[in-house]
Amino acid sequence: MSKRLSVSFIAILLVCLNLLAHEVPFSWISSDTLVVNDGVSKQHYLLRDGLLTLVSSTSLTNDRVETFPSAQPDQTAKEKPRETYREISRHEQTERTAAYFQLNLHAIYGEYETIRTLRKYDGVHGIEWGLLIKGDTEMFESSGAEGAGLIEDPDLLTGSNPHYYFLPFSMPHYSTTIISMREATDHHTNTVYRRDAIPYRKSQYFRGSILLAKNNNTGETHLIAKKSPIERAQSNYAGFDFSTDFTGVKVHSPGLTSLSLVNEADRNKEGDLWQEAYSIFVMMSAEDENEALKAYKEHELAVHRYLPERDNTFTMNTWGDRNRDSRVNEQFILNELGVAARLGVTHYQIDDGWQQGLSRNSAAKAGLLWDDWNAADWEVNLARFPNGLSKVKDEAGRLGMNLGLWFNPSKSDDYSLWERDQEILLSLHQRYGISWIKIDGLEIGNKLSETRVAQMLGGAIEKSDGNLQFNMDVTAGYRGGYLYFNHFGNIFLENRYTDWGNYYPHLTLRNAWMLARYVPIQRFQIEWLNKWRNDNQYPADDPLKPLNVPFDYQFAVAMIGQPLAWMEATGLPEEAFEVVPLVEAWKEVRGEMQRGVISPVGDEPNGFGFPGFISQGENRLFVLLFRENTAPSIGLASTVYQLPHDSVAGRRFVRLAGEGVLMNSDDDRLEVEYKKPFQFLFGYFE
């Protein structure tokens, strides 16, 4: 045997041994029959002409078998492939990503190629479906114009619009729930909408990020999460994401585009481009909606692990006091750092105004920039920081704090300067130790923009060995939403100001509570403002205005995510620092709490209920429970919080903070008593 053959044989042997050491979720029981084990069910697919068709599914819990007589192929195709290949590979864990198995189904057609991928992460349930395409094809171009009515569009009537995933129903009698979301939170205070719908013989079309399909006979629930920007922010958006009929659910608008629309310079530089469709997470046959959503959040925390040493932040950003950049200068920031450290802040972020080129949001009349910038614009403004950022960096380091900045990438020609902007980001990290940078002003909406922004940010993270991360602003424009661009750091959720009378603690709590049902809320910055400012902007008799809500309660609202002190530290009264013991108690356990799966419990927040959160970790179950301004307005009140089944059975409760008192705990119920409104209880069961 030649030396080359020996090396090849050893490599193949090592791959085989690696596969044998783990339970492989993909197996071929014949040349055309694939079995997929997603951890909850075993699914049998037929592979024909390069496409998968689901024919049956067996529950691993109760051995119930579902068959799918009306199943269709998993994606649209207009011709048969000339060649097909398949491969199963094992990818070991990294610091940030759990290990996973991946199945690749490669099909070569006349003018294009596709790779269908199925990915199963270790330790979590469900499958992530991917699709890559290379070559000139309009296979996924939707003929339906966005917003067209059924009477105007025969393709919508016939259900013939292209799809890139199909989940069949075993019978016509399913109920569906479509979850749609809103970004641009400067204009929206409702971030999540639920819509219930019954499938019909003709296709029904929906916009949304998540679809839940419940079998009305068995109660089992399927979940599909489309990991894309929100609606019109998607590339080549058809105007809808899902369609249903009696046979099942289709997923549309994969974000692919004709290569004729891809910039010539990029094509010439990179050769034929593989375009990647928006990936889809699928959980089949979950016990109920709660289990399906838990599986999706566990999946997200496997794709992008929560690393407390890097992801734990308590950030202060001065723009919340509405002085914009008028006070951004070296001496002001130096004064701020000491007070912020006293409060317990771990990351101090200098927002818009640190840079030489002033933006259109600047308090200075000279500020005009927004969409396009020169490299020199991103030098430190020496009129404001005569020593550059060196003195600020040194003082932050002395206080044990990390430093953050603000950045707005240049948008011209679909972010054609992304490589230059990546170098600017890395230079700020290398020169000044910047660990977090707020990314503002994004306007995506086509594949080239998406790809370049992802390359810019992902490349900067990789080249910094993961030490540089980003706060992704979703307050305006077409951004990445909550299921896309969500692995670059955390999400800057909203701008609220007492100056405008639009900050209410219960509305901030509501947004966190609503989003936490569907996505990992520990990846979101949650605002915390100076409640003593601008009381005159609220009605004198408003029971929910910020001044009426205790400062520690307002901080507790933010503890479930990444607290954002949206304020100037030097503007706080002395009484504000009474919150420090709560901050320190939270810091002791937050890393463990935020590695868990966080879900909302209790009432939907409206200012007058009993909302809360739980975090299910490996060993402990954390609870953060609130009494809003409930009746009686003074005096004792108690409530019962319903938890997942057997959550606290046989466990001991450890109280960490808050005035609430645990009166009784059952297998899945907590009775908590509060002496007056605006109190909370924070602790864990072990």
In the structure, what pLDDT confidence band is assigned to residue 652 with cuts at 50, 70 and 90?
very high
In the structure, what pLDDT confidence band is assigned to residue 62 with cuts at 50, 70 and 90?
very high
More confident of the two residues 377 and 368: 377
- In CATH, the number for domain 3-303 is 2.70.98
**For the CA atoms of 642, 648, 653, 656, what is the dihedral angle to 10 degrees?**
-60
In whole angstroms, what is the distance from residue 187 CA to residue 641 CA? Answer: 32
Mean pLDDT of 326-353: 97
pLDDT at 260 over 70: no
Among 21-25, 467-471, 589-593, where is mean pLDDT lowest? 21-25
Residue type at 108 in one-letter notation: I
In the structure, what pLDDT confidence band is assigned to residue 163 with cuts at 50, 70 and 90?
very high
pLDDT at 614 over 80: yes
User: Which of 155-169, 350-364, 554-568 has the highest average model confidence (pLDDT)?
Assistant: 554-568
Give every strand in the sheet of 621-627, ordered side by side: 597-602, 611-616, 621-627, 679-685, 653-658
DSSP 217-277: TT--EEEEEE-S--GGGSTT--S-SEEEETTEEEE-------GGGS-HHHHHHH-SPEEEP
In whole angstroms, what is the distance from residue 18 CA to residue 24 CA? Answer: 10
In the structure, what pLDDT confidence band is assigned to residue 261 with cuts at 50, 70 and 90?
very low
Mean pLDDT of 358-383: 90
Mean pLDDT of 533-560: 98
Highest CATH level, class, for 314-587 = alpha beta
Where along the chain do its domains lie? 3-303, 314-587
Mean pLDDT of 289-293: 98
pLDDT at 152 over 50: no
Contact present, 643 and 670 (Cβ < 8 Å): yes
- Token pair for residue 10? 């050893």
pLDDT at 14 over 60: no
Contact present, 119 and 44 (Cβ < 8 Å): no
Mean pLDDT of 636-657: 94
pLDDT at 546 over 60: yes
Structure confidence at residue 677 (pLDDT): 97
In the structure, what pLDDT confidence band is assigned to residue 634 with cuts at 50, 70 and 90?
confident
In the structure, what pLDDT confidence band is assigned to residue 17 with cuts at 50, 70 and 90?
low
Cα-based angle 452, 453, 454 (whole degrees, multiple of 5): 90
Mean pLDDT of 335-354: 98
Judged by phi (left if over 0) then psi (alpha if -120 to 50, else beta), residue 521 lies in alpha
- Token pair for residue 287? 């016990």
Structure confidence at residue 623 (pLDDT): 98
pLDDT at 433 over 70: yes
- Residue 279 to residues 333, 451, 552, 674: CA-CA distances in angstroms? 42, 14, 40, 45
Among 4-8, 138-142, 326-330, where is mean pLDDT lowest? 4-8
Structure confidence at residue 273 (pLDDT): 79
Q: Do domains 3-303 and 314-587 have the same CATH topology?
A: no
pLDDT at 265 over 50: no
Mean pLDDT of 614-629: 96
Mean pLDDT of 533-537: 98
In the structure, what pLDDT confidence band is assigned to residue 258 with cuts at 50, 70 and 90?
confident
More confident of the two residues 301 and 22: 301
Residue type at 526 in one-letter notation: I
- Token pair for residue 333? 């920031």
Contact present, 230 and 209 (Cβ < 8 Å): yes
In the structure, what pLDDT confidence band is assigned to residue 32 with cuts at 50, 70 and 90?
very high
pTM, whole model, 2 decimals?
0.94
Structure confidence at residue 445 (pLDDT): 86
Contact present, 211 and 224 (Cβ < 8 Å): yes
Structure confidence at residue 197 (pLDDT): 98
In whole angstroms, what is the distance from residue 225 CA to residue 292 CA? Answer: 10
pLDDT at 147 over 50: no
Closest to 620 (Cα-Cα) out of 648, 580, 643, 582: 648
pLDDT at 1 over 50: no
Q: State the average pLDDT for the chain.
A: 93
Among 13-22, 188-197, 202-211, 591-600, where is mean pLDDT lowest? 13-22
Burial 188-201 (b: 16+ CB within 10 A, else e): eeebbeeeeeebee
Structure confidence at residue 148 (pLDDT): 45
pLDDT at 19 over 80: no
Structure confidence at residue 607 (pLDDT): 98
In the structure, what pLDDT confidence band is assigned to residue 632 with cuts at 50, 70 and 90?
confident
Among 300-309, 399-408, 643-652, where is mean pLDDT lowest? 643-652
pLDDT at 367 over 90: no
Structure confidence at residue 635 (pLDDT): 86
In whole angstroms, what is the distance from residue 169 CA to residue 157 CA? Answer: 20
pLDDT in tens, 201-238: 999 999 999 999 999 999 999 999 999 999 999 999 99
In the structure, what pLDDT confidence band is assigned to residue 257 with cuts at 50, 70 and 90?
confident
